[in-house]
């Protein structure tokens, strides 16, 4: 059953704390991700599958950041002056960020796993062409998911007569409310397996392979990937499914939005401490 009246006036729907947090995410996330995208495109060859996935991850984060000013306005004023279509677009950009980021971060982990554990056997798989194909597939999948989910979301917005956008009480769920937590949890497990295998491999090869000089940087990448899922992606995905968590969905959305501010650290550790050394390991192993 759905309660289509928000039951709140504009003052009661104001949340200055949420507006402050999301505004801070804009101030930090926009320049960091824009700069990261420029650096990735200009200073690193997109022939690397890692660079391809990171460019797409940066694009995903920028799409999230550009949607946040409307959320800031809503939580600062308690009103939604735009159309239902605009509300749907802003909501989908947030959900798309979680899904696409989860896919791209998992792709980065799998690429790292192949590079460290199977450097020779995986060379035919770890190509920029395959990385671009995977990235295109992810974006197409995300867009296809948007169609039924947007239609489901618009049914309830029509009943609200434009009185709200992000906060209304509805207990009916779409199929994606069940699928998304499963997908996020599955990709979390994949990242955990990749982390364990790479850690085990480096513990055996660190002293033998001169190319891998900084195990800390390598493992920081995987640690950050796990943090992204455990702290930012999984809680909000469970929140839209578990009824008792519904009151904390806005704080979880604010928390999940912070992920776009931390992704540039992933780029730094990857290219400064891992990517070049991985290529050196590949070369040294190929000569043996």
Residue 282's pLDDT is what? 47
Q: Which residue has the tokens 């690193």?
A: 44
Could you give the CA distance from residue 62 to residue 40 in angstroms, rounded to a whole number? 14
- Among 114, 162, 232, CA closest to 10: 162
Could you give the CA distance from residue 173 to residue 100 in angstroms, rounded to a whole number? 21
**What single DSSP character describes residue 272?**
I
Q: How many helices (H) and strands (E) does the chain have?
A: 10, 0
Task: For CA atoms 7, 20, 95, 146, give the dihedral sign.
Answer: positive
Q: Which residue has the tokens 């928390």?
A: 255
Residue 83's pLDDT is what? 83
Residue 151's pLDDT is what? 84
- Among 37, 36, 94, CA closest to 255: 94
Name the superfamily (CATH) of residues 16-148+172-287.
Answer: Rhodopsin 7-helix transmembrane proteins (1.20.1070.10)
Residue 221's pLDDT is what? 87
Q: What is the residue-wise DSSP string for 38-52?
A: HHHHHHS-TTSHHHH
**CB within 8 Å of 10: residues ≥ 6 apart:** 77, 78, 79
Report the predicted TM-score, pTM, of the whole model to 2 decimal places.
0.85
Residues present in the chain in total: 288
Torsion of CA 232, 225, 181, 135, to 10 degrees: 110
Task: Provide block-wise average pLDDT over 10 residues at a time, the chain (288 residues).
Answer: 44 78 95 90 79 93 94 88 86 92 95 88 89 96 89 71 58 73 95 94 63 68 93 90 81 92 82 46 43
**What single DSSP character describes residue 121?**
T
Residue 206's pLDDT is what? 53
Could you give the CA distance from residue 233 to residue 180 in angstroms, rounded to a whole number? 10
Q: Which residue has the tokens 């009661």?
A: 12
Where are the domains positioned within the chain?
Answer: 16-148+172-287
Residue 159's pLDDT is what? 58
- φ and ψ at residue 2, rounded to 5 degrees: -125, 140
Residue 164's pLDDT is what? 67
């Amino acid at each position: 059953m759905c309660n289509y009246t928000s039951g709140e006036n504009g003052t009661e729907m104001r949340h200055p704390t949420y507006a402050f947090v999301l505004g801070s995410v804009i101030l930090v996330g926009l320049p960091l991700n824009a700069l990261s995208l420029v650096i990735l495109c200009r200073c690193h060859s997109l022939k690397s599958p890692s660079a391809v996935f990171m460019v797409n991850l940066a694009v995903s984060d920028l799409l999230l950041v550009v949607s946040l000013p409307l959320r800031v306005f809503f939580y600062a004023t308690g009103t939604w002056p735009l159309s239902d279509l605009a509300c749907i677009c802003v909501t989908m950009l947030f959900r798309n960020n979680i899904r696409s980021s989860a896919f791209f971060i998992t792709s980065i982990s799998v690429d790292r796993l192949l590079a460290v554990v199977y450097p020779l056997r995986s060379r035919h798989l770890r190509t920029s062409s395959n990385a671009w194909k995977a990235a295109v597939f992810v974006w197409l999948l995300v867009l296809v998911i948007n169609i039924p989910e947007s239609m489901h979301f618009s049914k309830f917005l029509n009943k609200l007569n434009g009185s709200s956008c992000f906060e209304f009480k509805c207990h009916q769920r779409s199929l994606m409310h069940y699928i998304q937590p499963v997908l996020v949890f599955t990709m979390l497990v994949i990242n955990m397996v990749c982390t364990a295998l790479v850690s085990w491999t480096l513990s055996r090869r660190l002293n033998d392979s001169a190319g891998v000089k900084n195990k800390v940087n390598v493992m920081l990448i995987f640690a950050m990937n796990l943090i992204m899922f455990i702290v930012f992606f999984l809680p909000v995905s469970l929140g839209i499914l578990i009824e008792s968590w519904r009151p904390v969905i806005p704080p979880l959305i604010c928390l999940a939005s912070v992920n776009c501010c931390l992704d540039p650290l992933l780029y730094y550790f990857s290219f400064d401490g891992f990517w070049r050394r991985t290529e050196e390991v590949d070369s040294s192993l190929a000569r043996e």
